[in-house]
């Protein structure tokens, strides 16, 4: 309980009055004797009223508060939260409400003051923006009540436990469902290349068209119909994609509001959405994690929900990346041939352990390595060098990028697909490479 401005104002006024009287008496000004008694009487009366008001404040009924949270929150996006209040006091009551979001949820619009009418329900709204993923628990809500005489402000902490999950920012995935697939992918920056040759799955027979290859002609159907008939092929369906996600310390780098690990999760979800629409099965496996996760590849739209539930609270660790361990996990879990997408941040020192692990996986699976590149490296390359210190930074960056590029070229020379992308562009680049491999029939 804290004194209100009204009580503090009265106390300051009485303090000023007594100070003035004491000063005048010290200067030997002639003052009536009853003035001192009046001043002390006012002070005692104010203290008595304050004590009575505090006693009445303790008997005030606590307003009922109901919090309305969204079913889930998206990382980095503002979401509204509603608080509904109702009280049983016989007169109008003006209260101040301050919710207590847990750490990791930034708030805007708190505290707020609202006037409650007897028997009526009032509502206020504020916004939340998650700064990290995971499971968050609300514990309480704070309500500040004025005393009946307005001399005190009574602070009540109401137990209001509620849980909410923060998922990766998947809103654009569902927005994309409203658009045609090709148009949606083009808006994301995905470039679909023309097919090299023909798909491997037969689709239908149709009349021969200009531009068709002679190899597409079905001679038996042509003889029956007495007109050229061509076979039409489509990309194979029912293929499997397994994401092997590095959760180690190298994925904790951060160029913007999100860490590289969060960008990698967003990219995996984006490609999962596209692959599931293409009729393929999608799975997930993590390594260098405090708690390893595995989700077997399955088809269907429900698989994306399962993947979201599997990774929403997944965090990067301080462990180093062990690619041999990742290869062993993949070979033990995934028996059927699949496209294995290894999402990591390659370093020049990975040459010794990385290539043997990729070769082991490559004997059974098609391997695609998606390597995140720090944006600061690109900015350093474009910076004008003017000082000796800047020249050292520039030369060190160029040397590091050259070693990294040499590692990529070595992997590609051994038949490993390598995708080098900045974190913000990883999703679109990954989908582009997937569609390219699928159309080429090499998955």
At 55 the pLDDT is: 83
Residues 6 or more apart from 439 whose CB is under 8 A from it? 192, 193, 194, 195, 196, 199, 235
Task: Give the whole-angstrom CA distance, residue 279 versus residue 238.
Answer: 6
Contact indicator for 234, 227 with CB cutoff of 8 Å: no
Pairing, β 93-99 against β 134-146: antiparallel
Alpha carbon 42 to its chain centroid, in Å, reads 59
Residue-by-residue DSSP string for 39-60: HHHHHHHHHHHHHHHHHHHHTS
* 8 Å CB contact between 253 and 375: no
Per the DSSP assignment, residues forming a β-bridge with 73 are: 166
**CA–centroid distance for 304 within its chain:** 16
My answer on whether omega of the bond before 257 falls inside 30° of 0, hence cis, is no
Count other Cβ atoms within 10 Å, centred on residue 348. Answer: 14
* CATH C-level class of 171-176+184-192+236-440: alpha beta
Interacting residues of 407 by C-beta distance below 8 A, sequence separation 6+ = 346, 348, 350, 351, 354
d(C-alpha 20, C-alpha 6), whole Å: 21
pLDDT on residue 297: 92
Residue 19 confidence (pLDDT): 80
At 125, phi and psi to the nearest 5? -130, 135
- Strands lying side by side in the sheet with 366-372: 294-298, 281-287, 240-246, 339-344, 366-372, 417-421
End-to-end CA distance of the chain: 68
Q: CA angle, corner 155, sides to 154 and 157, nearest 5? A: 145
The Cα 122–Cα 422 span in angstroms is: 48
pLDDT of residue 53: 78
Within 10 angstroms of residue 284's Cβ, the number of other Cβ atoms is 25
- The beta-carbon contacts of 66-73 under 8 Å, at least 24 apart in sequence, are 67/99, 67/138, 67/141, 67/160, 67/162, 69/138, 69/162, 69/164, 70/164, 72/164, 72/165, 72/166, 72/167, 73/105, 73/128, 73/130, 73/164, 73/165, 73/166, 73/167
Q: Is 76 left (phi over 0), alpha (psi -120 to 50) or beta?
A: left
pLDDT tens digits in sequence order for the chain, 443 residues long: 778 788 778 888 878 877 877 777 677 777 676 776 777 788 888 888 888 878 887 777 788 888 999 888 888 889 999 998 888 777 778 888 899 999 989 999 888 888 888 777 888 999 999 988 888 999 999 888 888 787 888 888 889 899 999 988 766 554 544 344 455 555 555 554 444 444 455 567 778 787 777 777 888 888 888 888 887 765 555 788 999 999 988 888 877 778 889 889 888 988 898 888 888 899 999 998 888 889 999 988 889 889 888 888 888 888 888 889 999 999 999 888 899 999 998 876 766 788 889 999 989 899 999 998 887 777 787 778 888 888 888 888 888 888 888 888 888 888 888 999 888 888 888 888 888 888 776 66
Residue 195 has what pLDDT? 44
pLDDT at residue 193, as a whole number: 47
* pLDDT score for 432: 85
List, in sequence order, every beta strand (DSSP E) within 147-273: 152-167, 201-207, 229-234, 240-246
The ranges assigned to domains in the chain are 2-58, 64-167, 171-176+184-192+236-440, 200-234
State both tokens at 326.
Answer: 């990742």
C-alpha dist (Å) from residue 262 to 242, 251, 266 = 18, 9, 6
Residue 129: burial class (beta carbons within 10 Å; 0-12, 13-18, 19+): middle
The two beta strands, 72-74 and 152-167, are parallel
* Count of C-beta atoms within a 10 Å radius of residue 210: 4
In the prediction, which pLDDT does 400 show? 83
| 64-167: CATH, from 2.40.100.10, 2.60.40.10, 3.20.20.150, 2.30.30.180 | 2.60.40.10
DSSP-derived 3-state class of residue 377: helix
**Cβ-contact 145, 242 below 8 angstroms:** no
Q: Is 353 exposed, middle or buried (0-12, 13-18, 19+ CB in 10 A)?
A: middle
Q: What is the pLDDT of residue 181?
A: 45
CA distances from 255 to 31, 171, 423 (A): 74, 22, 8
């Amino acid at each position: 309980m804290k004194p209100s401005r009204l009580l503090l104002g009265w106390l300051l006024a009485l303090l000023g009055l007594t100070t003035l009287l004491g000063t005048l008496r010290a200067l030997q000004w002639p003052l009536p004797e009853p003035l001192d008694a009046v001043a002390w009487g006012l002070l005692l009366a104010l203290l008595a009223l304050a004590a009575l008001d505090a006693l009445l404040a303790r008997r005030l009924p606590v307003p009922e508060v109901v919090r309305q949270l969204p079913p889930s929150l998206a990382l980095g996006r503002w979401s509204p939260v509603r608080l509904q209040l109702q009280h049983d006091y016989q007169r109008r009551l003006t209260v101040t409400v301050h919710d207590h979001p847990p750490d990791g949820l930034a708030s805007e619009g708190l505290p707020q003051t609202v006037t409650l009418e007897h028997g009526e329900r009032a509502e206020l709204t504020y916004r939340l923006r998650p700064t990290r993923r995971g499971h968050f628990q609300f514990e309480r809500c704070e309500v500040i009540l004025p005393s009946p005489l307005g001399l005190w402000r009574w602070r009540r902490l109401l137990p209001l436990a509620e849980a909410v999950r923060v998922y990766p920012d998947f809103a654009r995935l569902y927005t994309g469902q409203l658009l045609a697939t090709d148009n949606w992918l083009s808006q994301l920056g995905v470039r679909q290349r023309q097919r090299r040759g023909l798909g491997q799955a037969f689709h239908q027979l149709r009349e021969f068209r200009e531009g068709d290859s002679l190899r597409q002609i079905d001679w038996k159907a042509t003889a029956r119909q007495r007109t050229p008939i061509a076979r039409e092929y489509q990309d194979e369906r029912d293929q499997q994609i397994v994401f092997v996600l590095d959760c180690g310390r190298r994925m904790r780098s951060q160029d913007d509001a999100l860490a590289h690990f969060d960008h990698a999760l967003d990219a995996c979800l984006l490609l999962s959405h596209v692959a599931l629409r293409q009729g393929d099965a999608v799975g997930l496996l993590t390594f260098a994690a405090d708690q390893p996760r595995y989700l077997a590849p399955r088809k269907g739209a429900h698989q994306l929900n399962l993947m979201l539930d599997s990774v929403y609270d997944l965090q990067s660790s301080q462990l180093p990346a062990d690619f041999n361990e990742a290869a062993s996990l993949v070979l033990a879990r995934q028996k059927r041939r699949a496209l294995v997408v290894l999402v990591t941040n390659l370093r020049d020192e990975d040459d010794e352990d990385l290539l043997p692990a990729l070769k082991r996986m490559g004997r059974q699976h098609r391997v695609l390595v998606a390597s995140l590149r720090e944006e600061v490296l690109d900015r350093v390359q474009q910076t004008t060098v003017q000082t000796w210190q800047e020249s050292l930074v520039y030369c060190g960056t160029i040397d590091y990028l050259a070693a990294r590029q040499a590692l990529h070229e070595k992997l590609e020379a051994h038949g490993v697909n390598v995708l080098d992308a900045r974190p913000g562009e990883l999703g679109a680049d990954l989908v582009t490479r997937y569609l390219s491999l699928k159309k080429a029939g090499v998955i």
